Amino acid sequence: MFLHRGSFSEVFMVREKKTGKMYALKCLKKKHLAHSNLENEINVLRRIKHDNVVGLEDFYESRTHYYLVMQLVSGGELFDRILDKGVYTEKDASKVIKQVLQAVSYLHENSIVHRDLKPENLLYYNTDENAKIMVSDFGLSKTLEHGVMSTACGTPGYVAPEVLAQKPYSKAVDCWSIGVITYILLCGYPPFFEENEKRLFSKIMRAEYAFHSPFWDDISESAKEFIKNMMEKNPTKRFTTEQALRHPWIVGDTARDQDIYQSVCEQLERNFATSKWKVMANQGSRVRPNWLQIDDTQPYEQPRHDRSGCSCNRKRTIANFSVKA
């Protein structure tokens, strides 16, 4: 069963034949991917284990593809769940952000920066009403060696000012992204919006955003204060995950329980329902690619045994997984 299509990957639901356990198989075309980037992602995933982080179970490769066997997360994307709820409050948003903060705090404690936090990478573990949030997609994540990074990367709209300014940056970039996500969860539209990318980046670098009326009239001052601290232009003054987890909007009772479903969902549908990622996902769910061949594989960094691409033992191993129809 097809689950998701990214820029350079496709994800399928697969079943382990021996146990019947379900997994997500992330398939990446080698020609679109630098080996060092994938190696970085795998090294990061092998280091982490957290209740709110999608885990790596195994890894294989063929002549043309890499295959990551991942923990199956079947509850869908964050925005879709909000649209399906019927009732939605600040408290709901606070609970989501608390889980994201707990996951990212764990990453930062282990010297890992995600660098691409955005709503599409926040998934629900299953379809249960109280399902937990899972942070996914570590393709741009980085292990900190000296406390700062310099490579400009991320998704426009969620990336921190210091990244766009091409300055050395730290794990504080993740906190900025969480601030942007929080903003969207409370109003349904992004804090920075410009058709022209240059003007968009200029606004972000100036941290030029506002809490517009009437969309923010019913949102608590505590929520706005939280966002201001997360989206602080100066990264040295920006909230850390530890500070954010102590904020009253996260751990106290300042998040309102007033229903904001209608106003938020109207804006979500207007600003995100026809966005590129949503269109791609809808198209991908109807088309199964013809390049999914998981019987010609070998384990990561294992020498090839013949021209077919792997040993008989490894073919039997990967054959233990089947794509679920």
Catalytic residues: 116
DSSP structure string for 130-187: TPPEEE---TT-EE-SSS-B----S-TTTS-HHHHTT--B-THHHHHHHHHHHHHHHH
Partners of residue 68 on adjacent β-strands: 26, 59
- Using CA atoms in the order 262, 267, 270, 276, what is the torsion angle rounded to 10 degrees? -120
Single-letter code of the amino acid located at 186: L
Instruction: Give the C-alpha separation, 294 to 319, whole Å.
Output: 7
Q: Report the SS3 class of residue 279.
A: helix
Contact 96, 89 (CB under 8 A): no
Instruction: Give the C-alpha separation, 192 to 201, whole Å.
Output: 9
Instruction: Give the C-alpha separation, 76 to 150, whole Å.
Output: 33
- Residue 87, CA distances (Å) to 66, 178, 235 in order: 41, 23, 35
Q: Residues for the chain: how many in total?
A: 325
Q: Report the SS3 class of residue 53.
A: strand
Contact 25, 68 (CB under 8 A): yes
For 15, phi then psi, to 5°, come to -120, 135
